[in-house]
């Protein structure tokens, strides 16, 4: 993987109104570090040499924070929120530089394991044009389903559009994607907004790619990796998961924690 160039496009333009805070959502902290910084660290650990941060709400504050957290990152402003594909295309200038791999990540998924990103990049190296990170759950209600056929991913179907049979699928869309750089802009530019919300959905590129003979595949990850934070209760839950992970790692490394639940890392 060290021979392949990689750009991570981190979407961080959301207003985060459910946080009920003047602070941009992705700047709320877990273990003393802004959520988006956890995402940046994961991207870098997975070999992403360059970063493009798509911002919107609180742009000035986000720029200042980015200079401290990821001084080499480029920032791009999404002036209007017209969907995830529209957000990714805000970073067109960065994408057009010609990377081997494009990782599309979200600034509010701070628990992503770098190994998940590495696996996605590896699948691109093996010939896939798109890799979608998914998770399995016994209660898939509300999630988009990953529709596979013959080992390939042929569509991502929102629940409201699923047939009764498709609703039984427990493999769900986690949102994160890896896209072959040579195809990225070509696929993104074909995404339309002929849907109820009039938005440009990143998920549409799976079917677009299939129609052009490109392979899309899924990569499975644990639900925690794609857990998005939307309110303070979820923020606290993510903090708990992060702390549990670090306590476990510490103990496996030989650290004695008499009462692990009383120890907090930062």
Which residues are catalytically annotated? 18
**What's the longest Cα–Cα distance across the chain?**
58
d(CA 55, CA 14): 8
CA distance 133 to 193: 23
8-state DSSP, 144: P
Q: Is 28 left (phi over 0), alpha (psi -120 to 50) or beta?
A: beta
What separation in angstroms does the CA of 129 have from each of 91, 187, 205, 212? 19, 10, 10, 11
Closest CA to 19 of 230, 227, 228, 239: 230
- Cβ partners under 8 Å of residue 249, min gap 6: none
């Amino acid at each position: 993987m060290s021979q392949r160039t990689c750009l991570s496009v981190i979407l961080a333009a959301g207003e985060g109104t459910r946080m009920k805070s003047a602070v941009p959502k992705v700047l709320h902290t877990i273990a003393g570090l802004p959520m988006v910084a956890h995402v940046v660290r994961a991207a870098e650990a997975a070999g992403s040499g360059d970063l493009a941060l798509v911002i919107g709400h609180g742009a000035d504050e986000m720029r200042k924070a980015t200079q401290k957290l990821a001084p080499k990152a480029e920032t791009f402003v999404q002036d209007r929120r017209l969907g995830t594909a529209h957000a990714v295309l805000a970073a067109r200038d960065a994408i057009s530089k010609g990377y081997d791999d494009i990782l599309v990540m979200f600034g509010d998924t701070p628990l992503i394991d770098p190994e998940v990103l590495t696996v996605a990049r590896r699948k691109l190296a093996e010939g896939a044009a798109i890799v979608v990170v998914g998770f399995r759950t016994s209660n898939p209600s509300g999630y988009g389903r990953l529709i596979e056929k013959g080992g390939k991913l042929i569509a991502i179907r929102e629940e409201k559009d699923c047939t009764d049979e498709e609703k039984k699928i427990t493999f769900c869309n986690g949102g994160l994607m890896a896209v072959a750089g040579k195809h990225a802009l070509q696929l993104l530019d074909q995404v339309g907004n002929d849907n109820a919300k009039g938005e440009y959905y990143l998920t549409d590129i799976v079917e677009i790619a299939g129609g052009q003979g490109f392979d899309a595949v899924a990569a499975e990850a644990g639900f925690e990796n794609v857990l998005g934070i939307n309110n303070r209760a979820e923020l606290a839950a993510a903090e708990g998961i992060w702390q549990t992970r670090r306590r476990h790692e510490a103990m496996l490394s030989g650290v004695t924690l008499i009462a692990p639940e009383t120890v907090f890392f930062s």
